[in-house]
Amino acid sequence: MSYLTDRKRAVNWGSAKSGTHHFWAMKVSSVALLILVPLFVFTFGAALGGSYDEVVAYYERPFPAIVAALTLIVGFKHFNDGFQVLVEDYVHGIWEKILILGMTCLSYGAAAVGLFAIARLAL
């Protein structure tokens, strides 16, 4: 039988130094997406069904291109932060680091490809 205090049981388990950062990052990106997603749907809906030339002409305007780019950036950052929290809670050991690193590379890569596509349309 062990007579350990709560503090002694918690020693060497680490602290929540970055927990509040992840929490607030997720909250801020959630509020940003709450505004950006309806704007994106509204702007994308106006171009939906048009020919290629009409869509290119539509996304050459700054507002639709900026809304689409911001939605991509914030959406993939929010996805990456959420996935990281999920993995930190349920996966331990070397797989935790591998999954976080892999998903970070994948989400930033997908965001870069999306931004490149928007830049090709807009420029």
Which residue spans within 28-117 are E strands per DSSP? none
pLDDT tier for residue 1 given thresholds of 50, 70 and 90: low
What percent of the chain lies above the pLDDT cut of 90?
Answer: 78
pLDDT tier for residue 6 given thresholds of 50, 70 and 90: confident
CA distances, 96 to each of 26, 77, 115 (Å)? 20, 18, 28
pLDDT tier for residue 15 given thresholds of 50, 70 and 90: low
pLDDT tier for residue 3 given thresholds of 50, 70 and 90: confident
Could you please state the CATH topology (level 3) that the domain comprising 22-122 is classified under.
3 helical TM bundles of succinate and fumarate reductases (1.20.1300)
The pLDDT value given to residue 4: 73
What rounded mean pLDDT belongs to the chain? 90
The set of residues, in sequence order, having a beta carbon less than 8 Å from that of 87 and lying 6+ positions away, is 96, 99, 100, 103
Whether residue 22 contacts residue 84, with contact meaning beta carbons closer than 8 Å, is answered with yes
| Dist CA 33 CA 40 (whole Å) | 10
Q: What average pLDDT does this structure show over 29-33?
A: 97
